[in-house]
Amino acid sequence: MIKNDLFLKALKGETVDRPPVWMMRQAGRYLPEFRALREKYDFFTRCQTPELASEITVQPIRRFGMDAAILFSDILVIPQAMNIEVQMKPDFGPYLPSPIRDQKDLDAVAVPDVSEALGYVMDAIRMTKEKLEDTIPLIGFAGSPWTILCYCVQGQGSKSFDLARGFCFTQPKAAHELLQKITDTTIAYLKEKVKAGCNAIQVFDSWGGMLSPTDYQEFSLQYMKQITEALKEEAPVILFGKGCWFALGEMAKTGASALGVDWTCSPRNARYLSGGQITLQGNFDPSRLLSPPSEIKKRVHQMIDGFGKDNYIVNLGHGILPNIPLENAGAFIEAVKEYKAR
């Protein structure tokens, strides 16, 4: 039994006194204790060493007391396990020196035995669960197949992922083969994560908003649907699509327990588009955490009033930024704990 089960209750649609709160990318660069470890260990060493990954996961919890922890890792451990080299370059971000551009590149992509290739993630989960001592739930995550394809084809971050979209539209057969390989690996990976102790799963479709609504169905949603269907009996699934407000209605029909919303969609519109029933998560503008703490608190309360306290998980509309003052991050969490329904 988990002592603070507000987050799991919200995922089930149960009534709560106040909504639960966590922040996407809460284990990260805005924390001095995280930056101290970053001085000593490179990115993938931090991911691959269970002592480090579990420590980084609990750092924000110790400081701010969120209602859920999210395992420190990265969405790009999946392509890495599939035989695609991924580097994390300081001040640049992900870099894949041999991107997938044609059928020949694709033939070298493997669907690995995840317990072997990603066993270190499972060890990190078990160690994190020990550290959390059943105080709060632990979220495991993966990138959506489309978002992973973006990096595999583009070879690095991008404002438009034009090469990734071009690959889908000029070589659709190869694109679907890659998406299916990623989907199969992701399903096996997430099932292992739940077995290792994760209490819920979030799928990040960070670049879903790059696709037109029609292409979104073909190149992203159908694969997220496969993942949700395969996982939903084992753990609640949250689907977060950045810029994907147009798909909230379809996403609500996948069997997911909750949908993430970014800050460009109003609470009212998100409720309307998702059909009014499903639990929603979001959607504070990450840059709004630069406002003074009193302003943050006021706007968080307005946001909760907008979504309603039930069927709702307070979060940002995307990951926390590295330049957010600690006091402001703290004000965001405190505002939720102080919330009283009006």
* Residues of span 60-99 touching ligand CP3 by CB under 6 A: 70, 72, 74-76, 88, 93-94
Is 310 labeled as catalytic in the residue annotation? no
Task: Measure the CA–CA gap between 111 and 178, rounded to whole angstroms.
Answer: 10
Is 339 labeled as catalytic in the residue annotation? no
| Segment interacting with ligand CP3 (CB under 6 A) among 20-28, 243-251, 277-285, 333-341 | 20-28
C-alpha atoms less than 13 angstroms from C-alpha of 105 in its C-beta half-sphere = 19
Quick one: angle between helices 267-274 and 293-307, nearest 10? 30
Instruction: Spell out where the chain has E strands.
Output: 69-70, 87-89, 93-95, 138-143, 200-205, 237-241, 258-261, 279-284, 312-316
Q: Does 313 bind ligand CP3 (CB under 6 A)?
A: no
Is 18 labeled as catalytic in the residue annotation? no
Beta-bridge partners for 259:
239, 280
Is 101 labeled as catalytic in the residue annotation? no
* Residues of span 318-337 touching ligand CP3 by CB under 6 A: 319
Q: Does 255 bind ligand CP3 (CB under 6 A)?
A: no
Q: Least separation, in Å, of the C-beta of 89 and ligand CP3?
A: 9
One of 30, 151, 189, 339 is an active-site residue; which one?
151
Quick one: angle between helices 50-64 and 119-132, nearest 10? 40
Q: Does 25 bind ligand CP3 (CB under 6 A)?
A: yes
Interface mask (CB under 6 A) for ligand CP3, residues 195-224, using x and -?
---------x-x------------------
Q: What are the C-alpha distances in Å from 292 to residues 131, 249, 282, 320, 329?
A: 33, 35, 20, 16, 11
Task: Measure the CA–CA gap between 202 and 187, rounded to whole angstroms.
Answer: 12
Give the catalytic positions in this structure: 25, 29, 38, 74, 151
Which residues sit at the interface with ligand CP3, rule CB under 6 A? 24-29, 38, 43, 70, 72, 74-76, 88, 93-94, 141, 143, 157, 204, 206, 319
